[in-house]
Structure 1
Amino acid sequence: MMTLKKVSMTEKKTGRQLLNELDLAVNPGDKIAIIGEEGNGKSTLLKLMRGRDYVPDYVETSGEVKTKASVIGYLSQQHQVATETMVMDLFPEVDWNDDLLRAMKDFGIDNLYSEQLFHTLSGGEKTRYLILSVLAIGPEMLLLDEPTNDIDLATINWLEQFIKQTTMPVVYVSHDEAFIEATANCILHIELAGRKDQPLHTIDYQDYRTYRDRRLNRISKNEQDIQTQKRALQEKEAKLQQVWQKAEHQHQHVNRADPRLQKKVANLKNQKSRLEKDKANVGELLAYEKESYFSFAYLEDIHRGKLLPLISVAELRNEKGVLSRDIELQVLTGDKVVITGENGVGKSTLLKEISHQLAGKEVGYMPQRYDEVLELTKSAVEFLQITGDADERTEIYTALGNVNFTREEMLQSIGKLSGGQQAKILLLRMIREKKEILLLDEPTRNLSPITNPHLYQELKNFKGTIISVSHDRKFIKEIGTKIYQMTSAGLNVLEVR
């Protein structure tokens, strides 16, 4: 259906290579999950598979992409449509195929020609209509960029079943571990090892769990090899130091003009220089990309179980009208609250209302749309600054390095970074400001399945309070101590742990 031969991708400005000579065959029945850290070029690769005209102009590509598919369906990660766009504008022509009709029935949508403005829909409603618009062109192959973003659990389950049952090849980028585990029969892992300047890729025609276990075993062996190399260099350095001290003694107390001694000293200097280079290059032996590292261990003496102000909303409204009524949420310090529910019921609107009602508290807020709180024209370093002094700047560079930012990405305007990188900046901002209450709207939606397990653990151990909206099943399982379902009639308790 599609073949990629020696496909490479390079950032034009920095010369940094994102992908090096990828060979990939996509056949009917393939369900290929592309995974990797944020900013590694996953979405760009998907756009290249769609067609070279869709590749962003800051990336240079080479290699060959051939396809036998006459119609390729593409679902973008970003819902970028003009403000005046109506739902009906997504469907200029419709192929009323069985996949489309079945999806419309399952989504409870019987009209594709609605005059409702697209931007007034919830994130999940937008994604459902975009899925329908992809199916409406009668595709022979699907390219999906973060397809589970913003959609509710029922729609995620539908999408899983659809992907498993369709004979069309499906290539997708996803952060959602549970979704990848349920659907993928091949993993394409894109990594940037070393100092994010060594492009690696792995293709494994196995399910995700098998791939993950194999990778962990490879990492363990690789780390053992590096430790062995370090020990060997330490032993070599100790021996060289002994020889050097002896030669230095001779140099000081014997005839300095002795040509043999001069030659010996010069040789030792060369050996020392090579040894220093070898020590500096040990990190280059990493045959994998390190996961991003966050630390939410900044709170110590927090009194757990203390009542926070009661969240009370008689009527939750947006521009479409009343979304839900009679909402009451009592939260204790230390609670990890997760709110789920169908798309369009107002979960994100509720979280924003909670941020208003808790104003004055030490609250960090991560909205579904990052541009509501990020200053997109600033760099990550500028945005994370509080005092502006030199020591703080060093701390910021270290923190960004720990979440796999390159020097160039640290200084680039936030608006040019990937969604996952923007999410990392918001999380780092909360950490730097030592927020006691975290309001998180789908916090894992743009982070990689390699990073998310570490983030789960950090948030689970966080001593403060979390109120979150999520459809990420692993996040709910790992983090939630109180799980609520939101409906038009308010909040219902699903589980208390």
Structure 2
Amino acid sequence: RLLAKKMKNVLSQEKRFEKTAQSMTQKPLEEEEIRLFFSDIQPLPASKVLIQLEKENLSIDDRVLAQELQLTVHGQEKIGIIGPNGIGKSTLLAKLQQLLNDKREISLGYMPQDYHKKLQLNLSPIAYLSKTGEKEELQKIQSHLASLNFSYPEMQHQIRSLSGGQQGKLLLLDLVLRKPNFLLLDEPTRNFSPTSQPQIRKLFATYPGGLITVSHDRRFLKEVCSIIYRLTEHGLEIVNLEDL
């Protein structure tokens, strides 16, 4: 009887350990989820032409990457750009950024592939996101960061100490808080876990403004973009979504 009682206690402990182990393996996945959405965006008119490229070359210094680019971009279009590494996709995005920056009616949001080009690494996440420094704004920022599973120390430490995933979340939150009406995204899903991918796709698929994104993520392109172009040395060619 004593042995049976001990065995029962051992089995009971084993079940408790299994439950604890399951919660420990599941919690990090839950913590990596991204819960963000754009609100109060005033999109540009769908018929408004923002960019009109007519047989233009894409170059770095004296080296021509692509010739005779033709591209028309409207206010609410969601455009994806694909192509092999080194063909000039990020260079094209930088060219489009210059053109869009010159237009007063556009509030442009930009997420570079290299986060360090946008983030101020010596600032804390709270300082980077703050525009006024007012108490109410700071509390709102802290609440948003907490919802993205930033610990309080992470909110206060320099951005350079954050992981690539946390820095990516910070850039996404910056876009959401600034409420731009057009977005340029360079490989926006590259530093996020598989658990976060559905939320990122939903975030940009439901974004009411227009966007242009460079990506190798076929599922992201299919769910977010309405038209896909392949960049080649001979220009831009339309790609059938079914062929991705």
TM-score under structure 2 length normalisation: 0.82
For 2:166 and 2:172, how far apart are their aligned partners in 1?
Answer: 10
Say if 1:287 and 1:377 are closer, same or farther in 2 by CA, change over 3 A. Answer: closer
**Relative contact order (alpha carbons < 8 A, sep ≥ 6): 1 or 2 greater?**
2
Match status 1:409 vs 2:182 = no
The letter for the 2-side match of 1:468 is: T
Say if 1:475 and 1:374 are closer, same or farther in 2 by CA, change over 3 A. Answer: same
Asked if the contact 1:305/1:332 (under 8 Å) is kept, the reply is yes
The letter for the 2-side match of 1:474 is: R
Asked if the contact 2:43/2:210 (under 8 Å) is kept, the reply is no
Bigger radius of gyration among the two: 1
Could you tell me which residue of structure 2 aligns to residue 469 of structure 1?
214
Could you tell me which residue of structure 2 aligns to residue 322 of structure 1?
64
For 1:445 and 1:354, how far apart are their aligned partners in 2?
Answer: 21
Asked if the contact 2:187/2:216 (under 8 Å) is kept, the reply is yes
Say if 1:405 and 1:471 are closer, same or farther in 2 by CA, change over 3 A. Answer: same
Asked if the contact 2:124/2:155 (under 8 Å) is kept, the reply is yes
3-state secondary structure, aligned to 2:238: strand
Match status 1:398 vs 2:143 = yes
Q: Deviations over 1:128-162 (max 9, x none)?
A: xxxxxxxxxxxxxxxxxxxxxxxxxxxxxxxxxxx
Could you tell me which residue of structure 1 aligns to residue 199 of structure 2?
454
Question: How many aligned positions are there?
Answer: 218
Asked if the contact 1:298/1:431 (under 8 Å) is kept, the reply is no
Q: Which runs of 5+ in 1 are unaligned?
A: 1-189, 194-199, 203-285
Identity value in percent: 37
Q: How does 1:19-58 map to 2 (within 5 A)?
A: none
The letter for the 2-side match of 1:393 is: L
Q: Deviations over 1:419-448 (max 9, x none)?
A: 111111111111111111110000000011
- Structure 2 residue aligned with 1:485, among 223, 227, 230? 230
Q: Which runs of 5+ in 2 are unaligned?
A: 1-20
For 2:28 and 2:166, how far apart are their aligned partners in 1?
Answer: 23
Say if 1:408 and 1:343 are closer, same or farther in 2 by CA, change over 3 A. Answer: same
Could you tell me which residue of structure 2 aligns to residue 440 of structure 1?
185
CA apart distance, 1:495: 3.0
CA apart distance, 1:328: 2.2
For 2:43 and 2:181, how far apart are their aligned partners in 1?
Answer: 11
For 2:164 and 2:28, how far apart are their aligned partners in 1?
Answer: 26
Asked if the contact 2:126/2:156 (under 8 Å) is kept, the reply is yes
Could you tell me which residue of structure 1 aligns to residue 77 of structure 2?
335
Q: How does 1:245-324 map to 2 (within 5 A)?
A: 289-290=30-31, 291-300=33-42, 302-311=44-53, 314-319=56-61, 321-324=63-66
- Structure 1 residue aligned with 2:163, among 388, 408, 418? 418
Structure 1 stretches of 4+ with a deviation exceeding 4 A read none
The letter for the 2-side match of 1:289 is: E
Match status 1:428 vs 2:173 = yes
Could you tell me which residue of structure 2 aligns to residue 27 of structure 1?
none
